[in-house]
Amino acid sequence: MNILQNQEINNTAFSGLIGVARREINPPLGIYARNWGAGRTDNAVGFHRPLTLTCLTFQSQNAEQPLVLIGADLGWWSNALDELKFRRGILDTLNLEESRLMVCLSHTHAGPCLSTAAASKPGGQWIEPYLLQLKEKSVDAIREALQHATLSTLEWRYGTCDLATNRDLQMEAEKRVVVGFNPQGEADHTLLIGRVTDVEGNITATIVNYACHPTTLAWDNELLSPDYIGAMRELVENQAGGRVLFLQGASGELAPAEQYVGDVEVADAHGRRLGYAVLATLEAMSGQNEVLDYSHTRESGAPLAVWNKRRIVPSSQTAAKLVMVPFQLKDLASLADIEAQWLACDDPVVKERLWRKRWIRMAVGDGDIAPMPLWIWQIGNACLVGQPNEAYSRYQQRIRAACAPIPVAAINIVNGYAGYLPPVELYGKDMYAVWQTPFAAGALEDLEIKTIETLNQLFK
């Protein structure tokens, strides 16, 4: 059931003070950057494209605490304490409420390690100073965005891009599901674009919400890279103007068909493919504060429905909610047992899996229930939903269906990380998303219910 009734379907506009800022966040080249168990090196030898951090701030008026949205070309938080220290540093420095900050990682698999626990690894001594620098650059970007915020309009439109494919491939001979292109599997191709324009109608920022794992570059790659997001961003900014802020969607089972390569041109081709879809969606949008509206029927050889553009009044309303969703945990090994297995293991692939399992156990704690945060923002007649885990695309499909006609940006890996959220029917299969996650069957469904319930309260 839709949560809005008798609402003008096409009026997605928000009008208020919107600020934009960008920082380059390249780490020192020697930093520890092993992201693949099959990798051959611990350190990158160069940069494919710069890693960036983009910040947007939203306010109805100057006196209001801003909503602060950050998109960064980074992978994931291995250590919950590092993420909390980073985010708390931003909140305390700016005296910002916890509900009003979302730091969204693009999930590139060609970025630096973000865990200070890897300090003993080759290049690990650079991680802690890099995280401090990352916090300082985030604060600087937020302050710049707020200082230069101007009266602007944010409007949304859905588009499509078929870059994402299903990556849960059933291998009957092996009796397991492997992570790679499944040509028979369904994939969500939904693209959501937010266009920010100034009072003169110039584009100052474009929000790109798309669900697709940035796993193009893998164990043969030796460069730090934003993956496909870099070329997409360059194309859209050159053609449309303004800054692009990328938000990784609910991509638990989605990735490009061609991936796990060392050739950066493949990543760039993927980025251009998404970039042209973004530009096509922008081109299809009406002018600032305009929608198509049915005018009349004109009799001709056929009865013709005539639609004309008309002006709309944008909303200036904002709201932010932070709620906790209790997830039941699987029967997990204790932290001490995992550490003992890791110390005794000589296989680099298995050792990497145990290393990740260790930090997941630390992230969810030693109990049977792990409360997971959920951020929900209202910005005008649209909403942003962020949570720290890797939800399958069914999550964004269901909350968008429940919220129609309100546009919903669903965002994975926001303000933390723990594990995957696959649908309940996949539990029992031998597959990475199921044995990696610390959460018991039903966690995704619990998140869907809580999200829709909170959206109902927000837009009642």
Residue pLDDT, tens place only, 332-368: 777 778 788 888 898 877 877 777 777 777 778 777 8
**Assigned domain for 357 exists:** no
pLDDT band at 126 (very low <50, low <70, confident <90, very high): very high
> Is the pLDDT assigned to residue 4 strictly greater than 50?
no
**Assigned domain for 302 exists:** no
Q: What range does the domain containing 240 cover?
A: 14-286+392-401+408-413
Structure token digits, residue 252: 């638990």
Distance CA 208, CA 249 (A): 9
**Assigned domain for 448 exists:** no
> Is the pLDDT assigned to residue 9 strictly greater than 60?
no
Q: What is the pLDDT of residues 17-34, one digit of tens each?
A: 999 999 999 999 999 999
> Is the pLDDT assigned to residue 258 strictly greater than 70?
yes
Cβ contact 21:70 at 8 Å: no
Query: Across residues 182-186, what is the average pLDDT?
Result: 97
Of 172, 293, 163, residue with least CA distance to 215: 163
pLDDT of the residue at 1: 38
Mean pLDDT, the chain, integer: 94
pLDDT of the residue at 11: 83
**Assigned domain for 365 exists:** no
Cβ within 8 Å of residue 179, ≥6 positions away: 167, 168, 169, 255, 431, 432
**Assigned domain for 199 exists:** yes
**Assigned domain for 343 exists:** no
DSSP state of 95: T
Of 240, 227, 226, 228, residue with least CA distance to 278: 240
Structure token digits, residue 76: 């994931």
**Assigned domain for 258 exists:** yes
Cβ contact 264:214 at 8 Å: no
Q: 168-182, 227-241, 330-344: which has the minimum mean pLDDT? A: 330-344
Query: Across residues 44-66, what is the average pLDDT?
Result: 96
pLDDT of the residue at 37: 85
pLDDT of the residue at 353: 77
pLDDT of the residue at 327: 96
Cβ within 8 Å of residue 404, ≥6 positions away: 2
Percentage of the chain beyond pLDDT 70 is 98
pLDDT of the residue at 348: 78
**Assigned domain for 452 exists:** no
pLDDT of the residue at 361: 74
pLDDT of the residue at 355: 73
- The structural domain count of the chain equals 1
- The distance in angstroms from the start CA to the end CA of the chain is 13
